[in-house]
Structure 1
Amino acid sequence: MKTVDMVIRGGKVVSSQRIVQASVAIDEGLVVAVGGDELMPPAREEVNADGLYVLPGAIDSHVHFRDPGYPHKETWKSGSAAAACGGVTTVFDMPNTSPPTGTVEALQMKLKAAESSYVDFGIHALFGDDTVDHLEALLEAGATSFKAFVGNTFGNLPAPTDGCLLEGFEKLAPLGIRTTVHAENSSIMARRTSHLKDSGRTDPLAHLAARPAVAEIEAIGRVLTLAEWTGARVHIAHHSAADSLYVLRDAKRRGVDVTVETCPQYMLLNTGDMLRLGGVLRVNPPVREARHNQPLWDAMMEGVIDMIATDHAPHAPEEKTRPNIWECDCGFPGVETQMPLMLTEINRGRATIMDYVRWSAEAPAKAWGLWGVKGIVAPGAHADIAIVDMDRRGVLSENRLRSISRISPWHGRTVQGYPLHTIVRGRFVMRDGELVENAAGWGKSVKGVQRMPEPKVRHADTFVKAITDPEAAAREAAAAAEELQ
């Protein structure tokens, strides 16, 4: 029997469907066997997982590694190190860097920066009025997906016009490519922010007052209308409000191809924490009133919200602690703390560890065309694994974060459940709770293994490409004349 690279012995292997006491054999970066310990081949390295859980590594569909452009906030090396220490094996990075990832040249800069990554990655390129004419070129150059900032956030990138959104969806629908959307109404928020500033409000809750739930409801509804019309795939980022869940629920019932993420801050924190923490907790969309927390959990259990992400958005501590809320940058690090936070809630009985695997690994793998290669511990899949101790207790500390941005709303929070080891394509990037420093650069783009399902295009005869094609117009006229006869 061939000797393999590694066998993880005696752990509990978790999927969304079951927990199985099994060992896992890994060779050349892939899982080659999952089964009884006596069935495992000889290995050059053995890992004892007695009493531990073997999970597919988390896939975080929403991180801002700030590189290129903002090295004082984060770099690919520091951000991916934080991911590795958080049991995250794949990340998808957002385009509001400097320069924004909206040209082939800017994308190449980001891919170069990502060569230092500890974990695998996808790149969301920018979808806007200035980029809609070269979306295909961005895909060919290595983008895996797109991000449309329908609501404004760090970087102040202009929101795409509705005409641009429709035209972009017309281009991406036949390709099956999914677009992440920051869904808040920028016009509503701009006017309210202006009124709040004019009235002299600088308190933490002014940020929430500027971004009411109706801004999320309206933007989600608008985006889903255009996606449903074209058949485009969309992904709603950082869903925050209970009030807008009905829009998503109804769209999914109609068969709209929409996936949805929420983040720990929206499930576990509320305005009481905002009053306590001030600018540290300023984030877009805002953390809302306590009444929103439980409905988000319920929506996760129901499947209206598909997955957990973090919106890891680091800033320097001094950029988060100014007395005027409008002068505090929006966002905070989260990729390293998501897993212990969520496992703590699993230990409290709010969901099962199988639910967690569905939210953290399986659903994002399916959404981004990685299912079967990532998101599962099974023969043939990448050996992307988080080995977890559900009994380990600790206190989260911003001082121990791998992120450059060592300021966190989770500082001092007691947790139970930690990733002990993180393995990316068969190689340790965190071992015994410590970063494996020489694994920097091991991460690769997932572009080469991404396989989106067949698209389901709708109303293609109304697309800009069709109505500006003389031959298509002639065919349409002939068909209309034949119908009249």
Structure 2
Amino acid sequence: MTDLLVRGGMIVTAGGVFPGDILVRGGRIAAVVQRAEEFPNWEMWVAGGAGEGMEHVRVLDATGLHVLPGLVDVHVHLRDPGLTHKEDFLSGTAAAAFGGVTTVLEMPNTLPPVATAALFAQKRERLAGRSYVDYGLYGVIDEANFPHLRELAEAGAIAFKLFLGPTTGDIRAPGWGRLQDVFALVAELGLPLVVHAEDRDVIEYAQAQVGEARDYRAFLATRPPFGELAATQTTCLLAQVSGARVHIAHVSLGDAVDLIREAKERGAPVTAETCPPYLFMTAEDCERLGPASKILPPIRERKDQERLWEGLHDGTLDLIATDHAPHLTEEKASKSWSAAPGGMIGLETMLPQLLTAVGEGRLTLPQLVEWTSTRPATIFGLAGRKGDIRPGLDADFVLVDLDAEWTLQPEHLHSKSKNSPLLGARLRGKVVHTIVRGHVVVENGKLGEPIGQWLPGACWTAGTGQPARIGG
């Protein structure tokens, strides 16, 4: 492997922004040096530290660019296996690389759902050598697979996913009584438990009352706020009673932020995320865009959007994830909000959208890093490898031009799906290079080789009977 020197840029971490250079040896960060007025004498440093000169080091000029830790997206649906007409792992991770996302955690509601160790192993084998970025794989919790959860964890699941409400795949959860046993076992295993917090019974009752939703307000009535609030409240209570590390996915309601804040104040081991559509869109946008903008939970009102931002800024919400959920254009073209599938793409647009918001003063660059890299890596057990720029960690970076202004067009998107509400939007801030473990996988718009590696969860035994986490 060629070693790398990223030289001349402005380094951004959750702790601040400073001019600096980064030396990469063997795929890991060997040194981070804050520059004064003159460049460090890297030739002397490299020779003195490794006995080899700079002829073995590739220099990547980052002058005029900001160097951020690669984004860690803990919530993606890459549809592989079983739904590869919508997306596959190569196309989805290519989209990630072009969006500055260097680690993805892939959801388990594929076909078949990842409900046993055998199915996990089949998916892992299928995806080997077919990713441009590093990746972890979820195991699902359904109404019947409680006896398989321990073996799923030992097979290397990065986390578990529990779908309390109906969504793609319509995977039914255990009842609340059985979930007490599930949460207790997950607490024992120590893996994160990610919850889609909408109550199925509330939603199915509302759907029966409303019938077919032909407009957005009718669709909102089929996913009433009470469904998300009831599921969020009960999930937080189960976390507190069991000690399970619960992560609430895609929070859409301001009142849900309050419930999560109260749970944290009581000491419940709860974290939470929201997603760009909830931060940048409102119900009025969905009325204009039609069923192409349908996601689950649905996009709410401006007052909810404002409280989600407040939740991020006060620490109630821990991170931002894409919930990248591709569907083909013809699948989203239904005139019925009930019939259209829920989901949008986001891997290529989250970072430019957030960089644009930085320019507007809605967040800072260090906050962007905290919410999209550092906190996700910490919550999902990857802090020893990902999420920061410091010696010893994987050399995962995204180099961005904060001043680049551009208009998003379909040809910019590498996902099989082009279902983005940002098409035609003017953005400020663009990915120039993406680096994964020292490999430059995107360079000035050109895609490199699929060098992504699987990231096992903390319970992976590697066939030894003992946990064998790789790389800390």
TM-score (norm 2): 0.91
Structure 1: stretches of 5+ with no match in the other structure:
452-485
Q: Pick which of 333-342 and 391-400 moved more.
A: 391-400
Instruction: State the Cα RMSD in Å.
Output: 1.5
**Structure 1 residue 4, shift from structure 2 partner:** 6.8
Q: Pick which of 442-451 and 414-423 moved more.
A: 442-451
Q: State percent identity of aligned pairs.
A: 40
Q: 1:75 aligns with which of 79, 88, 93?
A: 88
Instruction: Identify the residue that residue 257 of structure 2 maps to in structure 1.
Output: 245
Q: 1:8 aligns with which of 6, 9, 20?
A: 6
**Structure 1 residue 240, shift from structure 2 partner:** 0.5
Q: Pick which of 229-238 and 398-407 moved more.
A: 398-407
**Structure 1 residue 448, shift from structure 2 partner:** 6.6
Q: 1:267 aligns with which of 265, 279, 304?
A: 279
Q: Please tell me the residue identity of whatever aligns with 2:235.
A: V
**Structure 1 residue 384, shift from structure 2 partner:** 0.7
Instruction: Identify the residue that residue 206 of structure 1 maps to in structure 2.
Output: 218
Q: Pick which of 424-433 and 107-116 moved more.
A: 107-116
- Once the two structures are superposed, what CA deviation does each residue of 1:386-408 show, in whole Å capped at 9, x if it has no partner? 11111111112233211001221
Contact 2:153 2:457 in 1 (8 A): no
Contact 2:186 2:244 in 1 (8 A): yes
Contact 2:331 2:341 in 1 (8 A): yes
Secondary structure at the aligned position of 1:377 is classed as coil
**Structure 1 residue 160, shift from structure 2 partner:** 2.3
Q: 2 CA distance for matches of 1:426 and 1:98?
A: 33
Secondary structure at the aligned position of 2:103 is classed as strand
Instruction: Identify the residue that residue 124 of structure 2 maps to in structure 1.
Output: 111
Secondary structure at the aligned position of 1:297 is classed as helix
Instruction: Identify the residue that residue 358 of structure 2 maps to in structure 1.
Output: 346
Structure 2: stretches of 5+ with no match in the other structure:
47-53, 461-472
Instruction: Identify the residue that residue 163 of structure 1 maps to in structure 2.
Output: 177
Contact 1:128 1:165 in 2 (8 A): no
Q: Please tell me the residue identity of whatever aligns with 1:105.
A: A
- Once the two structures are superposed, what CA deviation does each residue of 1:192-251 show, in whole Å capped at 9, x if it has no partner? 111111xx5422332211112221111011011111001110100011011111111011
- Once the two structures are superposed, what CA deviation does each residue of 1:259-307 show, in whole Å capped at 9, x if it has no partner? 1110000000011111111111001000111221111111111110110
Instruction: Identify the residue that residue 113 of structure 2 maps to in structure 1.
Output: 100
Say if 2:209 is the partner of 1:195.
Answer: yes
Instruction: Identify the residue that residue 130 of structure 1 maps to in structure 2.
Output: 144
Q: Please tell me the residue identity of whatever aligns with 1:91.
A: V
Say if 2:379 is the partner of 1:377.
Answer: no
Q: Please tell me the residue identity of whatever aligns with 2:391.
A: P
- Rate the CA distance shift 1:79–1:70 in 2: closer, same or farther, 3 A: same
Instruction: Identify the residue that residue 59 of structure 1 maps to in structure 2.
Output: 72
Instruction: Identify the residue that residue 15 of structure 2 maps to in structure 1.
Output: 17
- Tell me the matched-pair count: 444
Secondary structure at the aligned position of 1:8 is classed as strand
Instruction: Identify the residue that residue 443 of structure 1 maps to in structure 2.
Output: 452
Contact 1:368 1:450 in 2 (8 A): no
Q: 2 CA distance for matches of 1:207 and 1:106?
A: 35
Q: 2 CA distance for matches of 1:49 and 1:397?
A: 26
Once the two structures are superposed, the pairs formed by residues 40-439 of structure 1 within 5 Å of their partners are: 40=42, 41=46, 42=54, 43-115=56-128, 116-197=130-211, 201-436=213-448, 439=449
- Once the two structures are superposed, what CA deviation does each residue of 1:38-80 show, in whole Å capped at 9, x if it has no partner? 1433252111111211110000010000000011100011100
TM-score (norm 1): 0.89
Contact 1:29 1:382 in 2 (8 A): yes
Secondary structure at the aligned position of 1:219 is classed as helix
- Rate the CA distance shift 1:448–1:379 in 2: closer, same or farther, 3 A: farther
Q: 1 CA distance for matches of 2:458 and 2:406?
A: 37
Contact 1:388 1:417 in 2 (8 A): yes
Instruction: Identify the residue that residue 29 of structure 1 maps to in structure 2.
Output: 27
**Structure 1 residue 105, shift from structure 2 partner:** 2.3
Q: Please tell me the residue identity of whatever aligns with 2:346.
A: G
Q: Please tell me the residue identity of whatever aligns with 1:38.
A: P
Contact 2:141 2:173 in 1 (8 A): no
Tell me which stretches of 4 or more aligned residues in structure 1 moved more than 3 Å: 448-451
- Once the two structures are superposed, what CA deviation does each residue of 1:436-458 show, in whole Å capped at 9, x if it has no partner? 2xx12x1111117899xxxxxxx
Contact 1:370 1:449 in 2 (8 A): no
**Structure 1 residue 347, shift from structure 2 partner:** 0.9
Q: Please tell me the residue identity of whatever aligns with 1:339.
A: L
- Once the two structures are superposed, what CA deviation does each residue of 1:288-338 show, in whole Å capped at 9, x if it has no partner? 112211111111111101101010000111000111111111101111110
- Rate the CA distance shift 1:150–1:39 in 2: closer, same or farther, 3 A: farther
Q: 2 CA distance for matches of 1:18 and 1:46?
A: 24
- Once the two structures are superposed, what CA deviation does each residue of 1:439-481 show, in whole Å capped at 9, x if it has no partner? 12x1111117899xxxxxxxxxxxxxxxxxxxxxxxxxxxxxx
